[in-house]
Amino acid sequence: MAGIYIHVPFCKKRCHYCDFYKTVETELLGDFIDVLIKEIGLQKDYFENRKVETIYLGGGTPTVLSPDQIERILDNLKNSFDISGQPEITIEANPDDISGPYMKKLKSTGINRVSLGIQSWNDEVLKFLNRRHTAAEAEKALEIINNSGIDNVSADLIYGIPGLSISQWTDDLHKTLSKDIKHLSAYHLTIEDNTLFGKMKKAGELKEVEEEESEKQFNRLTEVIKKYGYIQYEISNFCKEGFISVHNTNYWRREPYLGLGPSAHSYNGDSRQWNISDLNTYIQKIKKDELPATIEVLELKDKYNEYVMTSLRTMWGIDLDYVEETINKESRDYLNNIASRFVKYGMMIKEGGSLILTDQGKMISDNIISELMRLS
């Protein structure tokens, strides 16, 4: 199976924390759609004979697109790829873009999953993040989506925000999970250098949350989601039974995927490639029938490191048989050796032929993954 990711790089407003490639030059939207359709044609043989089971529209803000534009994109994908009978088709959405008529038309295009960027239910926090919606608009958007007939709804929240108290974070969780959502993605705020928050941090105007407070908020997250019956199937992702994100899970399980649009990444098992992070250059190159992508052929150590980095974050963990079959026995032995001390201290468990993080291990997952990496 395979997946397709489409990066829609347009935003009406820049959030202070976001380091994904985006632009506010929405006047180029029409050109982008035309060129994206052309890129679909140029990449139609990327998967060879694999069937596509997921399509994901991310960004940026995909809901700046009209339903007609989205339908045009999906129709071209269906004409160029072998799409499974009932693919999971997700769109990321901003609350203030959602209306009844918009959702009705969106559902008719084949979209069957919505990931809503709520981030917080506190208007002061939303303002601090420079989000363009309010808590009231998020509540209304959820109501509209749930009434649209799309029942696979995911919500995004952010914690580890400077000034966010544990009680505010707890309120955000309870309010979100009391709604009719099937999936939650909860991310700790990361301050990247090329964002406004990054510049503020460098200037001494913003300080990251202390590690102890981050741990408290993560622990509260795992406590609350269990009370609502959600499964933590990846460190930052939680769902009701039967509503795992197939698209994201395929990433973590190393299934091939094709990325379309500026800055989008692709992976086919043997190589990784990524499009240029510049909309104007992307448009110019595709118009000349050139793919604006850099390609990297993966060595065995790269395949090993990527597998460890992605799989250990999930509830399935590292499959040691898979490592031996696809990499080599030396890598399996290396993993067993390094992981033994984490097992000894309760950070990991060895279950059958798999290495899985415990709740305690999830707290320091980045450190554990770093220890398991191979340099050669």
Task: Tell me what pLDDT residue 24 has.
Answer: 87
Task: Tell me what pLDDT residue 376 has.
Answer: 76
Q: Which domains does the chain have, with CATH numbers?
A: 2-252 (3.20.20.70), 300-372 (1.10.10)
The CA angle 194-200-204, to the nearest 5 degrees, is 130
Task: Tell me what pLDDT residue 25 has.
Answer: 86
User: 3-state SS of the chain?
Assistant: CEEEEEEECECCCCCCCCCCCCECCHHHHHHHHHHHHHHHHHCCCCCCCCCEEEEEEEECCHHHCCHHHHHHHHHHHHHHCCEEEEEEEEEEECHHHCCHHHHHHHHHCCCCEEEEEEECCCHHHHHHHCCCCCHHHHHHHHHHHHHCCCCCEEEEEEECCCCCCHHHHHHHHHHHHCCCCCEEEEEECCCCCCCHHHHHHHCCCCCCCCHHHHHHHHHHHHHHHHHCCCEEEECCEEECCCCCCHHHHHHHCCCCEEEECCCCEEECCCEEEEECCCHHHHHHHHHCCCCCEEEEECCHHHHHHHHHHHHCCECCCEEHHHHHHHCCHHHHHHHHHHHHHHHHCCCEEEECCEEEECHHHHHCHHHHHHHHCCCC
Which residue shows structure tokens 């031996």? 324
pLDDT tens sequence for the chain (376 residues):
899 999 999 998 889 999 999 998 889 999 999 999 999 999 999 998 899 999 999 999 999 999 999 999 999 999 999 998 899 999 999 999 999 999 999 999 999 999 999 999 999 999 999 999 999 999 999 999 999 999 999 999 999 999 999 999 999 999 999 998 999 999 999 999 999 999 999 999 999 999 999 999 999 999 999 999 999 999 999 999 999 999 999 999 889 999 999 999 999 989 999 999 999 999 999 999 999 999 999 999 999 999 999 999 999 999 999 999 999 999 999 999 999 999 999 999 999 899 999 999 998 999 999 999 987 7
- How much is the CA Rg of the chain, to the nearest whole Å? 21
Task: Tell me what pLDDT residue 180 has.
Answer: 84
Distance (Å, whole) CA 19 – CA 38? 27
Task: Tell me what pLDDT residue 361 has.
Answer: 94
Q: Which of 251-255's residues contact partners 24+ apart within 8 Å by CB, and which partners?
A: 251/3, 251/310, 252/310, 252/311, 252/313, 252/314, 253/310, 253/311, 253/314, 253/316, 254/306, 254/307, 254/310, 254/311, 255/1, 255/2, 255/3
Contact 250, 1 (CB under 8 A): yes
Q: Give the contacts of 267 (CB within 8 A, at least 6 positions apart).
A: 254, 256, 257
